[in-house]
Amino acid sequence: MTNGALSTIGLTKRYGDSAALAPVDLSVPFGQRVSLIGHNGSGKTTLIRMLAGMLEPSGGSASVAGHLPGSIEARSALSYLSDQPVFYDDLSVWQHLEYIARLHSTDDWETQATWLVDLLGLNGRADDLPVTFSRGLQQKAAIAIAFVRPFDVMLIDEPFVGLDRAGRAALLELLDWAHGDGATLVVATHELSSVQSGERLIALSDGRVIFDGDPAEADPDSLSDGVFDRRDD
């Protein structure tokens, strides 16, 4: 496996004759904050899910912290926040937090969980079942669960969907905190708000990398239509 936080070599995903992701070569060093931009169908979710070990590649290879995606070692290093939150039907928010925290041997997990619940405005709902929540509250619960455990790398897919202003502000604060603590972050989104705080921008279109570099050097107008969403409210 290749050294570094994330690496892909000729990583490809095909469905029949259609390529969801063309051969992609990427190397993300530890501690880097990356914005992965692309319109719907650009391949960003496909890439994220293959790195998370949830989707088998059609070709090429990938590594997470030097390990095969989906392996025990990769799962230990990686926290994954999906664009479609999934919860246990019979566990409350607090029980989810305790389960994930204990599974990953989080030090002083109750203090961490309390801070997350407060920051994300889930006070008063911690004992409720997140499967009964609105889309926005589910997203906040999923964010808390993703951040309650230790991680070296975090993959986040469309995290701003359904979040109100307070939720977005809380998420950006958490991303700043995690990055400051040395974590590698890859945020897949179509919104410019995350690009402005990232060190590196990778833009995908039709399964191909069309830009990889400093966000300040990217001209949204020069990229394919639909890569950027200018909303930042």
Dump pLDDT digits (tens) for 83-100: 999 999 999 999 999 999
What local confidence, expressed as pLDDT, does residue 19 receive?
A: 92
What local confidence, expressed as pLDDT, does residue 215 receive?
A: 85
Residue 203 contacts residue 225 (beta carbons within 8 Å):
no
Residue 93 contacts residue 128 (beta carbons within 8 Å):
yes
Q: How confident is the model at residue 36 (pLDDT cuts 50, 70, 90)?
A: very high
Average pLDDT, rounded, for the chain: 90
Which is more confident, 227 or 190?
A: 190
What local confidence, expressed as pLDDT, does residue 12 receive?
A: 97
User: CA-to-CA distance for 52 and 169, rounded, in angstroms?
Assistant: 25
pLDDT of residue 226 exceeding 50, the answer is: no
* 153: its two tokens: 């790398």
Q: What is the mean pLDDT of residues 194-206?
A: 81
pLDDT of residue 3 exceeding 80, the answer is: no
Report the CATH architecture of 6-213.
3-Layer(aba) Sandwich (3.40)
pLDDT of residue 121 exceeding 50, the answer is: yes
Q: What is the mean pLDDT of residues 132-160?
A: 96
Q: What is the mean pLDDT of residues 199-225?
A: 82
Q: What is the mean pLDDT of residues 34-55?
A: 93
What local confidence, expressed as pLDDT, does residue 222 receive?
A: 57
DSSP per-residue string spanning 117-148: HHHTT-TTTTTS-GGGS-HHHHHHHHHHHHHS
Sequence ranges of the domains in the chain: 6-213
Least confident of 19-33, 49-63, 156-170, 193-207: 193-207
* 208: its two tokens: 């191909």
Q: How confident is the model at residue 194 (pLDDT cuts 50, 70, 90)?
A: low
Percentage, residues of the chain above pLDDT 70: 90
pLDDT of residue 228 exceeding 70, the answer is: no
Residue 209 contacts residue 202 (beta carbons within 8 Å):
yes
Distance of CA 210 to the CA centre of its chain: 20
Q: What is the mean pLDDT of residues 148-157?
A: 97
What local confidence, expressed as pLDDT, does residue 230 receive?
A: 43
Q: What is the pTM of this model?
A: 0.90
